[in-house]
Structure 1
Amino acid sequence: MTAFRIAIVAALALTTGGAMAETLKVGIAAEPYPPFTVPDVSGNWSGFEIDFANAICAKMGDTCEITPTSWDGIIPALTSKKIDMIVASMSITEDRMKTIDFSDPYYNTPAVLVGAKDAPDYTGPDQLKGKILGVQTATTHQSYADKHFAGIADIKVYQTQDEANQDLASGRIDYVQADILPMTDYVNTETGKACCRIVGQVEADKAILGNGVGVGLRKGDTALKDKVNKAIADIRADGTYKTINDKYFTFDVFGE
């Protein structure tokens, strides 16, 4: 290597804090999940988590390559190195931590039940007796429903949240359980306003619902985990996170 080429390599290293920039494949769920991930007609993605992923990659001096992946295959895609990290509203749970690692939380919101406009406020599991409850497959909400509502409600599992919402709107099911943010977005759509409302939050169960949402990372990838955690702290400190937050929400989605 010539002295000139060595100098160029050294200069590039300095611009990235002593390490060469990487292109990181960021796994998101292939299904739309507004306001977190939303595709346009050309297949370009936008939303809170797209902006968040790009912001932390910029802080790390790396480039994000958004990689849509089916939700039920997103952890296998990570462990098989088809993607480098998951930014897909994945709750940090003990069960998932047996397979993958997580960054520090980057948002934390409760789970809610959504029913018909004339449905009563939620007061407890007995209210779902004889009702049909829709949940998305391979989510913490399915796990929660299986533990707390099995034998009470008829639990119907969907591949996507959109499918569950459609059946709720058409009256084919009585309730859905999901995160408050996308469901707030849904009940404010034209369809959602006509059919449905949030009837209440489910009781806390951190063992299932987790301790917030984190970036999913491969076991043992401590260097990337440290970089991601520092990037999250940095965008919180410099106001970048607040700018992204305020673009999509009227409150601090970071939570407690």
Structure 2
Amino acid sequence: MSFRLFKRLRAMLGCGLAVAAVLASAPALSASDTLRVATEGTYPPWSFKDASGNLQGFDVDIANALCAQMKMKCQIVAQAWDGIIPGLQANRYDAIVASMSTTPARRKQVLFTNKYKETTSSFIVAKDSGIKDVTPAGLKGKRIGVQRGSSQHQWLTANGYDKTATLVLYDDTRQPELDLVAGRVDAIIGNKATFYSGFFKRPESKDYTFVGPEFKGGVLGDGNAIAVRLDDTDLCNRLNTALDAIMKNGTYEQIRKKYFPFPLM
């Protein structure tokens, strides 16, 4: 089979069984292996460190559930977002479970499993800001806070916000919220479910509100999935099988209800 045909199959089927059959000779992980997982670690409620420095959160629980389903040990590490794909490519870990959006650009760098949740993005502003229009023209001259390298950062740039407003970039998701409250930025954009279960659960959020429509698709991606290396089709298939199992046996819903009162799929 030619490499061009292989790439076409992979594009159509992701890490489906047809591609796995083509790569049947690739080395497979045994049931006793340790799955090395990277997550972001500063992105509550998806992944964060508790007072003892232990990783917690929805993505951490999902990773542990998948490892248990595959009868593998889980080794989960925190990795800064802008280096998370390079770390995977450098073989520092085997999979990324970090609410990563399945954008077209990322599909060229990693192989995604089936999605395990949907995602939408929204702006937040102060209630008394007078901001109603969140188009590039509507935010002209404003300062917009966003996590560096995130899909929302890419979306802002792709839609010309960097030409009308000042993009203020952060290495995590909490700092933009703090700067919004402190008045150092006029608006922030990020994952709506994250804002709902994090920022809007804290007292300082009472004077702030979502504004404008929800955004999804395109560079914001088609939901969130687990990323593995482009040639790691065997692991991708095993993760898909495990994902299907935890969704059918109720484990996924138990984890979801622990963090969110609303469905994620």
Answer yes or no: same fold by TM over 0.5. Answer: yes
Q: Describe how 1:129-208 pairs up with structure 2 within 5 A.
A: 129-148=140-159, 149-184=161-196, 185-193=198-206, 195-204=207-216, 206-208=217-219
How many residues are aligned here? 234
Q: Extract structure 1 runs of 4+ deviating beyond 3 A.
A: 119-124, 200-204
Equivalent pair of 2:179/2:185 in contact (CA under 8 Å): yes
Q: Superposition pairs for residues 32-181 of structure 1, below 5 Å?
A: 32-120=42-130, 122-125=132-135, 126-148=137-159, 149-181=161-193
Render the CA deviation track for 1:106-158: whole Å, top value 9, x for unaligned: 11121000111224574440321221111110111111111222322221111
1:203 shift after superposition: 4.0
Relative to 1, partners in 2 of residues 1:159 and 1:242: Cα closer, same or farther, differing over 3 Å? same
Q: CA deviation at 1:29?
A: 1.0
Look up the equivalent residue of 2:157 and give its one-letter code: D
Q: Which has the larger radius of gyration?
A: 1
Preserved CA contact (<8 Å) 1:48 1:248: yes
CA contact (8 A) 1:119 1:199 kept: no
Q: SS state of the match for residue 236, structure 1?
A: helix
**Structure 1: 5+ residue runs without aligned partners?**
1-17
1:202 to partner: Cα distance: 4.4
What is the TM-score normalised by the length of structure 1?
0.87
The amino acid of 1:39's aligned partner reads: K
Q: Which secondary structure state, in structure 2, belongs to the residue aligned with residue 127 of structure 1?
A: coil
Q: What's the secondary structure of 1:160's corresponding residue?
A: coil
Instruction: Specify the code of the residue in structure 2 equivalent to 1:253.
Output: L
Q: Which amino acid aligns with 1:220?
A: D
Shift of 1:96: 0.8
